[in-house]
Structure 1
Amino acid sequence: MATSTIKTEHIIKFTAAEIANLWSSYFNDTLAVCTITHFLAHIQDKEIETVLNMALDHSNTHIGKLKSFFNEEKLTVPEAFSIVNDVYPDAPRLFTDDFYLFYIQNIGKLGLATYTLALSNSARLDMCEYFTECLNESSALFNKATEILLKKGSFSRAPFIPDKEKVQFIEKQSYLGELLGKPRPLNVIEISNIYFNLIQNQLGKTLLIGFSQVAKSTKVREYMIRGREISDKHVRVFCDILDKEFLPSAGSWDSLATDSTSATFSDKLMMMHVTMLNSAGIGHYGMSIGTSARKDIGADFLRLMLEIVAFSEDGANLMIENSWLEQIPQAMDRDKLAENRD
């Protein structure tokens, strides 16, 4: 890790934001180690194997550094996930090699966003340096996965549109559109939002197809099937919007789950995996609402986001029911302390 040129003469404790970043990162990296370790047990494509090993090395290194940060401040290290408790080593492959690459590239997008936010919320210099390093590693991993996808002809490109010959300005309020009636054509920001969320839902749908096949608990299996149907619905909504504009949508990745029904990951790990994707999806939809100028597009994102919020809440309740949801560090309950005073 790079050494900072600026030093402080006093010890600065972690802020709540920095503890949140450490906590989330530890869960993400332990989950990644479990997931990628299973992928590597069945990988056949050597090029994709290099990307998986790159991702695994990053996460293992991160876990060591994160533990050091926790221990330094005498903070409890989360239980999170482990290969011993959350991976069935003899399970057959659940996804194809091509999906492994698709997974790494698109989870990489989430990593870029997560580390950018963590960096912007950090005050301690060692935290800033750590998350800068993580951001650089995620960029390199994303670029490598993208390079191989392009080489294999598997990269899903957003639609192309013709260029305007001159600068134009919006002249009518009707540009914002109405909830009823024929709207104006999509602009590039709206196309970008729709396409990004379409791809992320395809990732979620394929994961949920696989998870629904191997979950041990009936309730977890039913939750995964419900999530699969929600993701499929959202994919179709986004495809329909693009189709109405005569714009191409992305190819389907549904077939990249195998027919395995053997337990592959613990139900706890799969539920947390879906929970993390739910959180990311809610954030992406919220950002899309804020940057989509057409009212009907914003309304679509809002209703879809509310569906994910309800699905996510049910998932949290299921995890609480099974004692799978670790409590995040929280502020003191001052009222309770006052009530219990001597």
Structure 2
Amino acid sequence: MNTSSQAPITSSELANLWIAFQEKTMMLRVLEHFIEHADHEGKQLLLSYYNGATKNIEKITSIFQQEGAVIPIGFTENDVKKGVPKLFDFLYDIMYLYLMTKVEMSLYALFTGMSYRKDMEDLFIGMTTESQLMNSQTTQFLLEKGVLVRPPFVSMPKQVNFVQDKNYMDGFKWFSDERSLNTVEVSLIHHAIETNLVGMQLMIGFAQVAADKEVQKYFTEGMELSKKIEIDLGEFLRQSYIEPPATHAGKATASKVAPFSDKLMMYNTNFLTSFGLGSNALGSGFSLRSDLPAKMALNAKNIFTFAQDGGKIMIKNGWMEESPQIEDRNQLTK
């Protein structure tokens, strides 16, 4: 029961707190495995994120308690195993943190805009800032190590132009005057390929250690989907004589011993799949070439089907914790 003088939290604030709790508790478990095996200077980055996430979970828990809400289960020590071989090698831990903080920056900024109570705004502004800082630090670390590929450099524009060609929105055609990609399109493709490369290695590692055969098959399908997206989008860059991003770092090891529960690995996959859907929508919305949005729409369809299949597996195994529900219309108070 809310005993403070503040207004009760809204349904959107409750939902966003719940999502943040799930994501942050999952991140703690993943980082516990990474920190155990980190033998490079990037370990301090992992520890810094871990400590910050722990404090944010405490803040969210306190709000739940103040509002008289049950504390979600999220992910606990039962979802990670200590003392097992590392599942990923050579800076994948930092590449994973780089990817997840990319997602968090968008997620928590969105939650800030959906908050009305001052303490809710402050919480999510703080979490957004922390994610931005950590993403910046992991970006610079990976660049210094030579494992993060920058997008291509281009000549700076010298004048402002407006589109005159009526065929500007047509797709690319070999040996024709159709336009190559513009910088907006290149940036979106580069981002999509970069995230799918990290995601593909995650699926390879998860598939190697999943206990349930159906879950193992699902992760294999995720690996193949990430690979297909990377190849398809990479072809757009090659048509404009741009080499797609690639890295020699961050590979899954040969370990067959699971450091994480199938439940955690499925949730992590579902979380990133949802982000993939949003990224595809963004790419489709900002591209004016007819062939690129068409390809991204097809990718989105495949990602959506993959996400649905994952949800069914999670429900079947009792792994999908239910978000707070509105029982009847009387709960919709103003």
Whether TM exceeds 0.5 here: the answer is yes
CA apart distance, 1:162? 2.2
Supply the RMSD in Å over aligned alpha carbons: 1.7
1:249 to 244, 249, 252: 244
User: What is the match of residue 129 of structure 2?
Assistant: 136
User: What is the match of residue 152 of structure 2?
Assistant: 159
SS of the residue corresponding to residue 176 of structure 1 reads: coil
User: What is the match of residue 93 of structure 2?
Assistant: 100
Measured in 1, the distance between the counterparts of 2:189 and 2:248 equals: 17
Contact 2:149 2:247 in 1 (8 A): no
Measured in 2, the distance between the counterparts of 1:270 and 1:194 equals: 26
CA apart distance, 1:19? 1.0
Matched, 1:322 2:317: yes
Deviates more, 1:160-169 or 1:273-282: 160-169
Measured in 2, the distance between the counterparts of 1:209 and 1:323 equals: 24
1:78 to 62, 72, 77: 72
Matched, 1:174 2:167: yes
**1:218-233 matches, cutoff 5 A:** 218-233=213-228
Measured in 1, the distance between the counterparts of 2:274 and 2:56 equals: 22
Q: Return the letter of the residue paired with 1:33.
A: L
User: What is the match of residue 105 of structure 2?
Assistant: 112
Q: Return the letter of the residue paired with 1:296.
A: D
Measured in 2, the distance between the counterparts of 1:242 and 1:178 equals: 13
User: What is the match of residue 264 of structure 1?
Assistant: 259
Measured in 2, the distance between the counterparts of 1:180 and 1:19 equals: 50
CA apart distance, 1:91? 1.3
Measured in 2, the distance between the counterparts of 1:245 and 1:178 equals: 12
Measured in 1, the distance between the counterparts of 2:86 and 2:312 equals: 30
CA apart distance, 1:255? 6.2
CA apart distance, 1:32? 0.3
1:210-260 deviations in whole A, cap 9, x for unaligned?
A: 000000000000000010001011111111111111012111458611000
Measured in 1, the distance between the counterparts of 2:22 and 2:103 equals: 14
CA apart distance, 1:11? 2.5
User: What is the match of residue 51 of structure 1?
Assistant: 45
Measured in 2, the distance between the counterparts of 1:110 and 1:275 equals: 13
SS of the residue corresponding to residue 189 of structure 2 reads: helix
User: What is the match of residue 3 of structure 1?
Assistant: none
Q: Return the letter of the residue paired with 2:322.
A: Q
CA apart distance, 1:173? 2.5
SS of the residue corresponding to residue 174 of structure 1 reads: coil
Percent identical among aligned pairs is 31
Q: 1:153 to 1:193 in 2, by over 3 A?
A: same
CA apart distance, 1:161? 2.0
Measured in 1, the distance between the counterparts of 2:147 and 2:314 equals: 35
Measured in 2, the distance between the counterparts of 1:180 and 1:227 equals: 31
CA apart distance, 1:177? 1.3
1:74-118 deviations in whole A, cap 9, x for unaligned?
A: 1121111012x1011121000114111111112111111011101
CA apart distance, 1:165? 2.7
Under a length normalisation based on structure 1, what TM-score does the superposition of the two structures give? 0.91
Which structure 1 residue ranges, 5 or more long, are not aligned? 1-8, 336-342
Contact 2:152 2:242 in 1 (8 A): yes
Deviates more, 1:131-140 or 1:309-318: 131-140
Q: Return the letter of the residue paired with 2:76.
A: S
CA apart distance, 1:127? 0.5
Under a length normalisation based on structure 2, what TM-score does the superposition of the two structures give? 0.93
User: What is the match of residue 181 of structure 2?
Assistant: 186
Measured in 2, the distance between the counterparts of 1:124 and 1:211 equals: 39
SS of the residue corresponding to residue 213 of structure 1 reads: helix
